[in-house]
Structure 1
Amino acid sequence: MTRYPGGPAESPGFLLWHVTHTWQRAVTAALAPLDLTHVQFVLLACTWWLTNEGHTPNQQDLARQAGTDIKMTSQVLKTLENKGLLTREISPTDARAKTLAPTPAGIELAQRAITAVEAVDETFFAPVSTPALVKTLTKLTATG
């Protein structure tokens, strides 16, 4: 039994599932030439953004900003560090924490990747892009 007489085509969750995966495929394709996965992009871009805003983020700050699991964040950050895109150093105020900073190569790649992903967003969301959509998505994000 379902509350949607028209089946999955009327289910907001099922539709969101499909929209999300369609959008993710487009982002993945845009990031492939840059040798970044989607999650690598998100973490690199968030590190760049936080640093650019004058913060010295640690891994926990970054995971909170990106909405990612802290352990997974740590693993992906090791990959980004191995690629020479960011540094992870012991925090001067907390020996258990590692502070993050993008390298010059990381900054350049983050900016190129942000441009590529924003182009995907512009094309993908063009038919429905409005301030109301952003407000709705923000509201839905806050409920999680």
Structure 2
Amino acid sequence: MTLGPGDSPGFLLWHTTLRWQRDIAAALGPLDLTHVQFVLLACAWWLNGQGRRPNQLALARQAGTDVKMTSQVLRTLEAKGLIAREVDPDDTRAKRLRVTEAGAELAPRAIAAVESVDARFFQPVARDDALALLRALAGLEN
């Protein structure tokens, strides 16, 4: 018996991811942020809130993004006035990241928009079940 695409976990995950990404893009569009811009801004904002001033590599690790792509997106966020890249006093070749006042005002609004999408999107599944499944699939510890 040949299984159809609807019986393939990978195919279903592909379509699920596409639907979720469309919903996130629609929520972030009015805030003039792409999804990856949002993730990097939100991660930098969170790290700054923890008293940390990450460099580009630390931010990429936190966000799970490619370092070169992170650099390109950070330039865009800097041009938008949301992130400042400042010379690291301990290593003048490195840049430390600081969310600007405009970025600090936008980040919580963007997080709220994304959390609203997530709440609607994942509503059919119990939160703890969704988190457990996604952590397992992502290879993250609980």
Task: Report TM bin, short chain.
Answer: over 0.9
Q: Which residue of 1 aligns with 2:123?
A: 126
Alignment counterpart, residue 12 of structure 2, candidates 12, 15, 19: 15
**Percent same amino acid at aligned positions?**
62
Structure 1 residue runs without a partner (length 5+) = none
Q: Which residue of 2 aligns with 1:25?
A: 22
Structure 1 Cα separation of the partners of residues 111 and 51 of structure 2: 19
Structure 2 Cα separation of the partners of residues 79 and 50 of structure 1: 19
Note the aligned Cα RMSD (angstroms): 1.3
Q: Describe how 1:85-100 pairs up with structure 2 within 5 A.
A: 85-100=82-97
Q: Describe how 1:25-104 pairs up with structure 2 within 5 A.
A: 25-104=22-101
Alpha-carbon shift at residue 141 of structure 1 (Å): 1.3
Question: So what's the TM-score if we normalise by structure 1?
Answer: 0.93
Structure 2 Cα separation of the partners of residues 54 and 129 of structure 1: 33
Structure 2 Cα separation of the partners of residues 62 and 110 of structure 1: 15
Question: So what's the TM-score if we normalise by structure 2?
Answer: 0.94
Structure 2 residue runs without a partner (length 5+) = none
Q: How many residues were matched structurally?
A: 140
Runs of 4+ with >3 A deviation: none
Alpha-carbon shift at residue 55 of structure 1 (Å): 1.1
